[in-house]
Amino acid sequence: MVDADQKRPLLAAALAFLSPGLGHLYLREWIRALLWFTLAMLGVSILAPEATLPAATTPEAIWTASVEMTRALSWQARGALLAVSLLSVLDAYRIATEINAAAAIEEGQQCPYCGRERDEDLDFCHWCTAELE
């Protein structure tokens, strides 16, 4: 069971895969979410040909224009946009695992020195032999 302070790294990564910055919103990392979303939109606006940018307002026309825009991208542009997406996924996953590790240390479940699970009955970590409070 996940505590209220803990986050699900795979969920954060899946959300970031859907849209860069979305996983960071789940993690409540507002500035990082804005930066990843801005980086993705900036990449699209720079790399996409202007003739294929959607100018319509209906969902069907926007979808059709988006598909045409994707087909018009060079393989280098597609690779760059894919790299931004994958880096967003990795960053969201990393941040979620760091949040969980910090929460486990605060709760006293892990040793603050080596990060391994500790025995509550001992006054020291049986992994790294560090004195614990």
Q: What is the pTM of this model?
A: 0.73
Q: Cα(4)–Cα(69) distance, rounded to whole angstroms?
A: 41
Tokens 């986050």 -> residue: 7
pLDDT for the residue numbered 111: 81
Mean predicted confidence (pLDDT) in 10-22: 94
pLDDT tens digits, one per residue of 123-133? 888 888 888 77
- More confident call, 1 vs 119: 119
| Domain boundaries of the chain, sorted by first residue | 9-106
Q: Which residues contact 113 (CB under 8 A, 6 or more apart)?
A: 125, 128, 130
pLDDT for the residue numbered 1: 43
pLDDT tens digits, one per residue of 31-80? 999 999 999 989 888 887 776 565 667 888 778 877 888 888 888 988 99
